[in-house]
Structure 1
C-alpha cells in the first residue's frame, strides 16, 4: 500500500474550525495516513488547510446561456458547478497506475457513478443516511471492486436495504481533545441550526438548575436570532465559534455535555470529542449516538427534556478518567487509521 486518493466534499473546506464531522474526519485521516507512511493525494474544496498539500477540486463557474438559466428545470447553480468539479476529477484519475485505492467521502453521486471507469478500486464512507441521489447510484453500481464503510452500526443498518457495509467509527484527536478538570456548568457545542436544537439544551439546563455555555457557528442566523439569542444572559452564555484548542478547553472545564440533535446523527462526533475530554454526555436516543456513549460515557435518554434534565444529575458523578479511557480506546485517530489501512490493503491485494 503506497498511495491513496482521498476525495472530500467540494462544498466545504477541510480546515479548522471544521464545518462538520466529515471535514474533521478527512483532515485527521489525511494526517494520520501520512504518519503511517502512506502517500495521500487529497482533493477538497477551496479554503482547505494548505498544510495538507490539498489539490483543490476544480470548482469553477460554467457559462450558461440565458435560455439555459431560464429553463424551468434549471437546478441550483451550485449543483451544476459541483457536478463538473467531480467529473473533471474522475476523468483525471483514469488510467493512473500509481494509485492503490480511491477513498470517496464526497456525499456526491458522481464519483461512485464513474468509479468503474477509472481502473482503481474505490471505497466509499457512508457519512449520512440514504439520500435521493446517492441511493439509486449505489443500487445501480456494477463494480465488484467497490467497498462501503459506515460511520456507525446504525448507519450501516439504515443502508442495509441498499448495500452491505462494514463499520469504522470516526476518529478524534485525543491529544488535542485532552482531559479536563471538569467544572460546574454544562456545555453544548455544534452548529447553531434547528436540527441540532441548542434551544432544547437551554431548557434542559434550566430544568436541571445548571449554567450552560453554548459554542459553535451560527450556521442558521435566523434560527439563532429567534430561538437562541433571546435566552442569552444570566445562566446561559454563548462563547462563539471556537478553535479546537479553545473548544476542548471549554468542554474539559464542563461538568457534562448536552447533545440535543433532532435528527438521526449518523455518528455524533461531538459525543466522542466530549468524552475524550473526560466530560460525560447526555444524549437523545437518535441515530448512532447510543453506540458512542455505551460502556459508561454518559446516558442515553428518550427524546424528552425532563428525562435529559434528570440524567444530568446522574452523570455528574461519573469518573472522568473512565470516560476518557473509553474515548481513547474506541475513537482515537490511530484506531481509525489502522482500520482504514486494513480495508485499503484488502482492496489492493496487499499492496505491490
Structure 2
C-alpha cells in the first residue's frame, strides 16, 4: 500500500448506517468503512442522521428543503421523502465540488442515488461508484448526460455487471465481503434460519412454507420492511415451529445463523449479490435457496443447494441434503470467496490506481 488515503464514502440516505441494520446495503457500508479505517485510511462517511458516530460520520442533511407555498402546490411536486433525499445529495455534491479537492483524495459513491453520478464532473477528484442494483432509469439517465464519464464503476457480482452492460460496459467486479471474524463458525443446530428485510421481494413467506413442507423448524430474523405484507403473508404462517425472532443486532444474529442447520434464501427477484448468503457461509451454515441473480456465483455444491425460482416444493425437497453438507466447506468458501479483507484490499488497489 502506497499510503493512507482520504476517502469520502457516500452512503444511502434512506436509513442510518448503524446496528441493527435496516438492510444489506447499510451493513455493507458499515463494514467497508470499518475495514478501510483499519487499513489506515481516513474515511469520512456521508450518511443519514443517526448513523454510527464511531465511523467518522458527516451527516447528510436529510430534511425537507424550505419550499414556498407556490412550489409545494405545484403539480410536479414529488413526495416528501424523494424531495428530502434529492436535496441532501444536491447539497453534498455541491459541497464536494467546492471543497472536495482540499479535503479528499478519492470519492466512493456507495449510494443508490443518481445525483452523485450526475454531478460527478463537477467534483475534480477520482471517483468510484458501486453498482448494487439492476439498472434504474434515474442512473441510466445520469450516465447518458456525460460524454466522458469521470467515474470508475464496480459491480457487486458478475450477474450485476452483466445487467449493466448496455450502460457500463466493463465494471470491475468487487464482491461484498463479510467480516469472517465476526461471522464466526457456529456449531449448527436443529432449526433453519432466514434473515433479511421482511419484504415481498425477499420472500420470507416462501421460506416458511418450504420449512413447514420439510417438517423443520424455522427462525425468521430481520426488520419489518413492509408491515402490511408481513401481516398478510407471514404472520398467518407463524407457529408450529415457525418463529419470528425480531430485528437483531449483529452479534445476536451471528449466533442465530451459526446455530442453524441451514439457511434459507428465497429471493423473488434477481438478487444482485446476497449478503445473507455470505454471512451464513462464514458461520459454517450451508445455504438452500432459489437460483436467482448472483446466488449461483456464491454457492458451490459443497456448501449449498439451489432450487428453481419460486419452486417451494423443490426447495423443501433439497433441505434434507443441505443440512447434511459439511459445515467446514461452507466456512472455507466464505474465507476464499467473500471475505471483507479481500473486498477492502480490492477497493484500496482501485483507489490507489486512480490516485496515481
TM-score bucket of the superposed structures, by smaller chain: over 0.9
Structure 1, unpaired ranges of 5+ = none
Unaligned runs of 5+ residues in structure 2 are: none
Report if aligned partners of 1:112, 1:141 keep a CA contact under 8 Å in 2: no
Contact 2:143/2:149 (8 A) holds in 1: no
CA contact (8 A) 1:174 1:276 kept: yes
Q: Describe the superposition over 1:163-201 as per-residue Cα deviations: whole angstroms up to 9, x where unpaired.
A: 120100101111111111111111111111111111111
1:173 aligns with 2:179: yes
1:143–1:55 CA distance, 2 compared to 1 (3 A): farther
Aligned to 1:274: 280
Q: Is the 8 A contact 2:17 2:50 kept in 1?
A: yes
The 8 Å contact of residues 179 and 278 in structure 1, kept in 2 or not, is answered as yes
Partner of 2:269: 263
Alignment match, 1:346: 353
1:233 alignment partner, one of 232, 235, 239: 239
Q: Is this contact kept in 2: 1:184–1:211, CA < 8 A?
A: yes
CA–CA separation in structure 1 for the residues paired with 2:319 and 2:34? 36
Q: Is 2:250 the counterpart of 1:247? A: no
Q: Is the 8 A contact 1:145 1:347 kept in 2?
A: no
Partner SS state of residue 5, structure 1: strand
Aligned-partner Cα distance in 1 for 2:20–2:336: 25
CA RMSD of aligned residues (A): 1.3
- In 1, the alpha carbon distance for the partners of 2:18 and 2:134 equals 24
Matches within 5 A, 1:1-352: 1=3, 2-94=5-97, 95=99, 96-163=101-168, 164-294=170-300, 296-303=302-309, 304-349=311-356
The runs of at least 4 consecutive aligned structure 1 residues that moved more than 6 Å come to none
Structure 2 distance, partners of 1:306, 1:61, is 47
Indicate if the aligned counterparts of 1:177 and 1:277 stay in contact, CA closer than 8 A. Answer: yes
SS in 2 for 1:29: helix
Shift of 1:66: 2.6
Give per-residue Cα distances to partners, 1:121-166, cap 9 Å, x unaligned. 1110001000110111123323453100000000000000111201
- Residue 295 of structure 1: how far off its partner (Å): 5.8
Kindly state the Cα deviation for residue 72 of structure 1 after the two structures are TM-superposed.
Answer: 1.8
**Distance across 2 between alignment mates of 1:237 and 1:79:** 35
Alpha-carbon separation, structure 2, partners of 1:260 and 1:58: 35
Structure 1 length as normaliser, TM-score? Answer: 0.96
CA separation in 1, counterparts of 2:321 and 2:53?
44
